[in-house]
Amino acid sequence: MGMMIDGVYHVDDPAPDSRLDGEFRRHASTIRNLLPEGDLEPGRFHLYAAWNCPWAHRVLLVRAIKGLESLVSVSYAKPRRTPEGWVFDPDGPYSDGLFRVTALHEVYSRVNPRYTGRITVPLLWDQVKNRPVSNESADLVRMLGTLPDHGPNLAPQEKLPEIDAWNSKIYPRLNNGVYRAGFARTQEAYETACRDVFEMLDEIEDHLSSNRYLCGGAITEADLRLFPTLARFDVAYHYAFRCNIRRLIDYPNLWGYARDLYALPEIKGTVAFEVYKTGYFSPSELRNPLGLVPLGPDVDWETPHNRENSPAVTS
């Protein structure tokens, strides 16, 4: 994904490889400021995102569910990264509407001329203070999801223990677990990660047999952190990352739950299945040397989910 060290962009991390055991370890986010207090005027924030990035998708979901489009504008990077990392066209749907840069690392150079860190999305920029807010998706989801006077509170105080418990399990074993499987360098590391993925899916499947959403009868932050992984599972992770013990559609409750969320226009508008395939099947020496994008799978997300009428599911 590219990295900057002392303000210089590198195609790959030039630091020694720490994955001697074959395990994939995600770098920690480096920009973690808080949203400013008080009234937030329309157009104040600008989000750098990519359609195929699940971490950016989390923030796009919150933006849509909370109705924050007037507060947060968006620049979408092109689906396939290049040696320059996330890049933009001069104009069109994949152009940068804020700084008119051609590559995301040019925005990171504005953070600090000697910036060191990964060049990732999402990145939220405060246009009033002309500085970044955060490039940690979990922080952005919580901060934006609890903004008052803007749609539902996605992390109400009474639900926080339950939300945090789900987040703490789902992130390492499933959200990041698929990457641990896909980027593993040894058979043992791959099998450990893959088992974590499906044990977590099994646990959620059982829970959803008697709960419409993760924390009961209303959508919360926990659902919006889970959904991006589910939306990419059958079209990308099952094949590209070898998470192929089962498919999402093999889980009756999870598949119904995913379609239940997808049926909401706000959520559906953030989904781009074909873009996911284009991104996850980008040319990769280790995973997809020829860069061929598969035609399948043929999955109908429009099939009625019927979860709102199920007597076994709380509403």
| Res. 134: pLDDT tops 60 | yes
Write the CA distances from 299 to 54, 233, 253, 294, 296, integer angstroms.
19, 11, 16, 13, 8
> What pLDDT score does 234 carry?
98
Query: In this structure, are strands 72-77 and 45-50 parallel, antiparallel, or unpaired?
Result: parallel
The answer to whether 60 touches 272, Cβ cutoff 8 Å, is no
Options 53, 194, 215, 243, the catalytic residue = 53
Percent of the chain with pLDDT over 90: 77
3-25+41-145 matches 157-280 in fold: no
User: CA 80, 83, 84, 90 torsion: positive or negative?
Assistant: negative
Its pTM stands at 0.94
Task: Please check whether the domain covering 157-280 is classified as CATH 1.20.1050.10.
Answer: yes
* 201 vs 313: which has the higher pLDDT: 201
* Class (C level, CATH) for 3-25+41-145: alpha beta
* 271 vs 4: which has the higher pLDDT: 271
Summary mean pLDDT of the chain: 92
Q: Is 53 a catalytic residue?
A: yes
| Res. 137: pLDDT tops 50 | yes
Options 179, 190, 239, 251, the catalytic residue = 179
251-289 per-position pLDDT tens digit: 999 999 999 999 999 999 999 999 999 889 888 887 888
Give the span between the Cα atoms of 179 and 233, in whole angstroms: 11
Domains in the chain: boundaries: 3-25+41-145, 157-280
